[in-house]
Amino acid sequence: MGHIKNYVKGVQDMKIKIYYGGRGLLDDPTLYVITRMENVLRELRVDVERFNIYEHKNEIATLPQTFKDADGIILAITVEWLGIGGYMQQFLDACWLYGDKNKIATTYMQPIVMSTTYGEREGEMTLCNAWEILGGSPCPGLCGYVDDLAMFKMNEDYNLIIEKKAESLYRTISQKVKNLPTSNQAVKQTVLRTQSLSLTPQESEQLSKYVSDDTYVKKQKEDIEELASMYKDLLGHREEKNIEPYKNDLLARFRPQGSLKVAYSFIIEGFKKPLYVGISGANIEVYYGENESVDVVIKIRQEMFDDILAGRLTFQRAFMTGSITAKGNFKILRLLDEIFLSEQLV
């Protein structure tokens, strides 16, 4: 690789970081390509660091913070069937949500996309478009289709192309090559905006750490569930208060029918629990809750119950007209009008 010696050694401490979005398979051609590029860059005395995103899947939200000291990055993926894949997409989402846009604007990106089926050119374009919308500068990338990895590795022409791309990235960064403005950048400036939270880069970094912290997220979910439970309890108490008037009204209108022993369950539309009414001779028990030992189950609307208790309607008439439905012993159902006198007769 004597051609490398022809480069000007004017750049000191250049740092390039590689973000690999594949699955880490041994026969992944992208791994071979970026390993080859790493060797070239290190020979050029570049500080190279690789991040396998699949190894950081629980902390993807914090990965954009690793751009801080990078002069350039490489986004590398393998198109296995369609698109750039889940890990890389999540990483780009994190860049949009939590990345330091000022830092991204000064960071060069080279896309490396290899395909084992189809779509390497579309994948390269996707990465370039994403980086431009984020505000960064994409460099000429490398894309190709690999059918047989062993044959690909043995092809010296292919290896030379890979090395030239690594040198191209080095040259672009060292010479601070400028790009012409693109419509993607215009879209970012005029249309696309993340939700305005007015966060500093430091605050964005802290937020991304919280997002990727499983313990913190779990605690937040537990707190939300606790609040939801509390509000449900409050609503439950409110429902209890709504049912209380029916309970008091039934107790006031109760007229014992000898030694009659019967139990009713009123399912009132809009209430969470049924209203249980148990009668044993001169004793009556009324409460809202489940009870399997009932003789009749009655489904009734709240306004219909109001009409019956006010004397504007009887249980028998409401049942005959289909205003209420019931199942169980219908003979016992007809006794309701005798057991509970209407308001007009009390």
Mean pLDDT of 211-222: 66
* pLDDT of 169 over the 50 cut: yes
pLDDT surpasses 50 at 235: yes
Q: Are strands 261-268 and 296-300 parallel, antiparallel or unpaired?
A: parallel
320 vs 184, more confident: 320
**Pair 170, 138: CB distance under 8 Å:** no
The stretch 276-290 carries a mean pLDDT of 89
Model confidence pLDDT, tens digit, residues 31-64: 999 999 999 999 999 999 999 999 998 889 999 9
Within a 10 A sphere around the Cβ of 150, how many other Cβ atoms?
7
| Range of lowest pLDDT (126-135, 144-153, 210-219) | 210-219
Checking if the pLDDT of 105 tops 60, the result is yes
Q: Is pLDDT above 70 for 336?
A: yes
Check pLDDT > 70 for residue 83.
yes
Domains, in order of start, for the chain: 15-189+197-212 (3.40.50.360), 245-341 (3.30.1050.10)
- Flag whether pLDDT at 191 surpasses 60: no
| Residues 85-94: tens digit of each pLDDT | 889 999 999 9
**What is the C-alpha to C-alpha distance for residues 346 and 343, in angstroms, rounded to an integer?**
5
Pick the most confident of 111-115, 253-257, 306-310, 329-333. Answer: 111-115
Q: Range with the lowest mean pLDDT among 44-53, 189-198, 324-333? A: 189-198
**pLDDT over 60 at 285, yes or no:** yes
Confidence (pTM): 0.58
| Long-range contacts of 226-231, Cβ-Cβ distance < 8 Å, separation of 24 or more | none
User: In the prediction, which pLDDT does 6 show?
Assistant: 47
Asked if 287 and 262 count as a contact pair (C-beta separation under 8 A), the reply is: no
Mean pLDDT on 247-255: 85
Percent of the chain with pLDDT over 70: 80
Task: Provide DSSP, 47-65.
Answer: EEEEEEGGGGTTSGGGGGG
pLDDT score for 312: 86
Q: Is the confidence at residue 182, as pLDDT, over 50? A: yes
Q: What percent of the chain has pLDDT over 90?
A: 42
Predicted pLDDT of residue 255: 87
Q: What is the pLDDT of residue 196?
A: 47
Output the pLDDT for position 41. 96
Task: Decide which of 238 and 332 is more confident.
Answer: 332
Q: Taking a C-beta distance cutoff of 8 angstroms, is the pair 304, 324 a contact?
A: yes
Say how far apart CA 210 and CA 64 lie, in whole Å.
Answer: 14
Amino acid 186: pLDDT = 67
Range of lowest pLDDT (60-69, 114-123, 138-147, 266-275): 266-275
Strand segments (E) across the chain = 15-20, 47-52, 72-79, 108-115, 137-138, 142-145, 261-268, 275-280, 283-288, 296-300, 325-328
